[in-house]
Structure 1
Amino acid sequence: MIDKKKLVGEERRSLLLNWLQHEKKPLTGSELAKKASVSRQVIVGDITLLKARGIPIMATSQGYVYLTNQEETGYERIIACVHPPDKTKEELLLLVDLGVLVKDVKIEHPVYGDLTASIMVSNRKEALRFLETINETNAAYLSELTSGVHLHTISAKDEATLDEAEQALDKAGLLLK
């Protein structure tokens, strides 16, 4: 059996960037660590260094992605929602089933100010995987810190889709008025 060569420093970061730029789906830290023959923690540090250089890498619930203009879906809007944690699934599925990308969730924390977390789900499979990860890790939703009040940046191919999404959230009682 041939031992895989451990990649070091700049060579590893260069390869990480190349892998991310050429992959259409998110790559997890564990996947990248295996490819580079290092620990996931080394990958986290490398990604941090690359981001500090201004390289457009985003950590999502599905893994790391390199952001290009191809990720642009056209129109974007920030919406205000309010609901308990048990309505999160309904909210996300309603949005993605209409063809909306849910980019993030934002809250206004009384001590820390604005807090934003990437979600980046655009279809039912990604939304269910995101919810499963929350459940498996027993993580709290950011909105639990603000009695259910939160913002989402959403995007879609046209304004009509965003309007339809907002109307559907309103009808479901999930939109903050």
Structure 2
Amino acid sequence: MPLRGEDRRKEILALLSRDASNHKGSDLAFRFGVSRQVIVQDMAILRAAGVPVLSTPQGYALLADAAPQGEVRLLVTRHRTNDAMEEELCLIVDNGGRVLDVVVEHPLYGEMTGALMLASRADVAEFMEKVRGEGVTPLSALTDGLHLHHVEVRDGKTFERIRAALRKAGYLIESDEAGIVAER
């Protein structure tokens, strides 16, 4: 028999607290004998209660577990296809970065951010499988491919290596091209 809502949320919180890995909504739903939508509602209730739950393409985690350990830098990039998105993300992780999020500036809603937390080619492959398999449209489609990424890096040298790789591939938007001052 499935747990009552309050008891289930306590169990979910205990699980997230003791296991820092990401937990997929579908796995949690199976574990607790409820639908994935019930888990989504549970996460919303936990957030409303002040629990720092982060939702990423890899699953749910506590924000403290996902907090950056290195420097966080900003990249402004542009791609227009899913293949280009995959290449851009791989260039970042292959050169030592962890892609924390994607940010776009929507004309009606303002800044929109999606958590990514991609640290390896395996993370990128799993993310791209969802993009292609579920036929979803990435946030960057709202802005003709222009978007920002907060990227965690070990140091400035790592960040410059990432920038050089993105520049060479044609994805990096320099500050004067974007009409903004981007962190260098």
**Pairing 1:115-134 to 2, within 5 Å after superposition:** 115-134=112-131
Match of 2:70 in 1: 74
Do 2:20 and 2:65's aligned partners in 1 also have CA atoms closer than 8 Å? no
Q: Secondary structure at the match of 2:136?
A: coil
Q: Secondary structure at the match of 2:8?
A: helix
1:100/1:47 Cα in 2 relative to 1: closer, same or farther (>3 Å)?
Answer: same
**One-letter amino acid of the counterpart of residue 108, structure 2:** V
- Quick check: 1:37 aligned with 2:33? yes
Match of 2:172 in 1: 175
How far residue 175 of structure 1 moved from its aligned partner, in angstroms, is: 0.7
How far residue 69 of structure 1 moved from its aligned partner, in angstroms, is: 5.5
How far apart, CA to CA, are the structure 1 residues paired with 2:154 and 2:66? 12
How far residue 111 of structure 1 moved from its aligned partner, in angstroms, is: 1.2
Match of 2:178 in 1: none
Runs of 5+ consecutive residues of structure 1 not aligned to the other structure:
none
Match of 2:2 in 1: 6
Using structure 1 for the length normalisation, give the TM-score: 0.92
**One-letter amino acid of the counterpart of residue 18, structure 2:** H
Do 1:7 and 1:38's aligned partners in 2 also have CA atoms closer than 8 Å? no
Number of residue pairs matched by the alignment: 173
**One-letter amino acid of the counterpart of residue 78, structure 1:** L
How far residue 20 of structure 1 moved from its aligned partner, in angstroms, is: 1.2
Query: Runs (4+) of structure 1 moved beyond 4 Å?
Result: none
**Pairing 1:57-96 to 2, within 5 Å after superposition:** 57-68=53-64, 71-85=67-81, 86-96=83-93
How far apart, CA to CA, are the structure 2 residues paired with 1:72 and 1:83? 25
Q: What percent of counterpart residues are identical?
A: 39
Runs of 5+ consecutive residues of structure 2 not aligned to the other structure:
175-184
- Quick check: 1:105 aligned with 2:102? yes
Match of 2:161 in 1: 164
How far apart, CA to CA, are the structure 2 residues paired with 1:127 and 1:56? 24
Residue by residue over 1:56-114, the C-alpha shift from the partner in whole angstroms, topping out at 9 and shown as x without a partner, is 11111011111225742210011100121231111011111112110111111111111
Using structure 2 for the length normalisation, give the TM-score: 0.89
How far residue 167 of structure 1 moved from its aligned partner, in angstroms, is: 1.8
Match of 1:52 in 2: 48
1:28/1:175 Cα in 2 relative to 1: closer, same or farther (>3 Å)?
Answer: same
